[in-house]
Amino acid sequence: MSQTPLQRGIRDTAFLFSGNAISAAISFVITIYIARSLSLSDFGSYITIIAFVTFFSIFTDWGINAAIISEGQKKPEDTYKLIFSSMGLKLLMSLATMFAVILFALITPYSLEVKALIILMSVTLVMGGVGSLFSAVLNIYRDLKYISIIQIVERITFASLAFIFLLAGLGITGVIIAIIIAAFASLILNFILSRRIDDYKLNFKPIFDRAILTKAVWIGILVELETVWYSLSAAMLSGLTNTTQVGLYAPALSYVGIGDLAVIALMSAFSPIVSRAASDRRISKKELIKYVGYIAVAGLVTVGITYAFGGQLMIFAFGPKFAESIVLINILTIGFAVSLITIPTSLLLNATNFQRVNILPALFLMWIGVPLNLYLIPRMGALGAAYATMILQSVVALLSISTALYVLKGSKYFYQPPTA
């Protein structure tokens, strides 16, 4: 029997969330083991390395993948051309990003060991940049089960190797090597499975496709701004305090990260459904507000569960040396819950090519984010970073929804009921 768009969205969300949930569970368990195996300071150094390299990962793509997926889902038969025209540019961007990371790592105030491991891990930017392009093929053809399988295999590979290398006494270096090997395994799997779906050809010569780049640039700017302000507090924490404070902050980020995986799955699954509904003008303003309300209730439930059980369970898992992280988890969960209400409007803005509208709230947050962190972190450490993140997420949620409703007011994409 054929499925309705809502049923397909729920099915695809289930596929992605199942993969994300299993991957998150594996990551959570190995992160606990890493935290217990390393000193608080060394664990903070490990988190610093991950955050530093991840911060630059947006430059390996700059919205190209999102543009390719959006165009490919409209006409899957054009996937061959989209991948061929983007591959060389993605490789160039990934290599340039890797060299940028190496350069910036050398001038940071980090220890020599941290700098060396950042440089070592920078190779994953090339693997991830190219691998994400292959993964776009799976997204275009809605083979989301393969995306979930690849995620799980990558996490199992990393967790197994990290466990072995830590037992062998390799410390942080062993964990970084495990990340690199797992990233390579993900790259190979993405290539093999995507080629089974679409027989595209490899092309390492950069091609500047104006149609793709025009759409990608707005997505890239928005994602970069969101990445910067979302990770701003953690990044500034490592520069303004010490690795011990970063280590205390890490369990809170891990907890909220589980929710982020659910959001990613939800938005990935419903993006093509909302796009088609907007194109057919089947979305009403009343319906949009209704879904915002549903998600707000889900956010309140998340906060309640966290305050009742979340912090205690996390500390039970990570150990008593992370007891100060409980309050950080509670604070970050409030910010996460508030940010959830932007999901319906974000999906609709992306579907109607109004992605650039979200740049305004993100720019405003960048303007207030840096001074807010500069004020709170030196005075309160990790607690200041948590408060800054919660405040920024709350402000962006209010700005994003109000801006979206204003821009979409009277839009042709809203369903207009017939007048009597």
For 330-341, what is each residue's pLDDT tens digit? Answer: 898 898 888 888
Instruction: Retrieve residue 80's tokens.
Output: 């061959």
**In 3-state terms, what secondary structure has residue 283?**
strand
The pTM score is: 0.66
The DSSP secondary structure of 241-300, one letter per residue, reads: S-HHHHHHHHHHHHHHHHHHHHHHHHHHHHHHHHHHHHHTT-B-HHHHHHHHHHHHHHHH
Q: What percent of the chain has pLDDT over 90?
A: 13
Q: What is the pLDDT of residues 252-302, one digit of tens each?
A: 877 787 777 667 656 665 665 666 666 656 566 676 777 777 778 888 888
- Count Cβ atoms within 10 A of the Cβ of residue 160 and give its class: 0-12 exposed, 13-18 middle, 19 or more buried: middle
Per-residue pLDDT band for 225 (boundaries 50, 70, 90) equals low
CB–CB of 20/265 below 8 Å?
yes
The pLDDT score that the predictor gives to residue 1 is: 44
The pLDDT score that the predictor gives to residue 420 is: 45
CB–CB of 392/255 below 8 Å?
no
CB–CB of 311/386 below 8 Å?
no
* pLDDT for 373 beyond 70: yes
- Count Cβ atoms within 10 A of the Cβ of residue 82 and give its class: 0-12 exposed, 13-18 middle, 19 or more buried: buried
CA separation for the pair 200, 194 (Å, rounded): 9
Position with higher pLDDT, 128 vs 284? 128
Strand runs labelled E in 49-141: none
CA separation for the pair 58, 132 (Å, rounded): 11
Residue type, 412: K
* pLDDT for 405 beyond 90: no
Based on DSSP, count helices (H) and strands (E) in the chain, helices before strands.
Answer: 16, 0
Domain extent listing, the chain:
1-208, 218-410
CA separation for the pair 201, 34 (Å, rounded): 40
Mean pLDDT along residues 187-192: 89
Residue type, 301: V
Instruction: Retrieve residue 108's tokens.
Output: 């940071």
The pLDDT score that the predictor gives to residue 98 is: 94
Instruction: Retrieve residue 43's tokens.
Output: 């664990």
* pLDDT for 155 beyond 70: yes
**In 3-state terms, what secondary structure has residue 350?**
helix
43: Cβ contacts below 8 Å, ≥ 6 apart: 34, 35, 243, 247, 250
- Count Cβ atoms within 10 A of the Cβ of residue 269 and give its class: 0-12 exposed, 13-18 middle, 19 or more buried: buried
* pLDDT for 167 beyond 70: yes
CA separation for the pair 194, 68 (Å, rounded): 14
CB–CB of 191/134 below 8 Å?
yes
Of 241, 234, 113, 232, give the one whose Cα is nearest residue 175: 113
CB–CB of 97/249 below 8 Å?
no
The pLDDT score that the predictor gives to residue 115 is: 93
Mean pLDDT along residues 198-227: 66
* pLDDT for 130 beyond 80: yes
Q: What is the pLDDT of residues 10-51, one digit of tens each?
A: 565 566 666 667 777 788 788 888 988 888 888 888 888 988
- Continuous segment of H or E residues that includes residue 172: helix 171-197
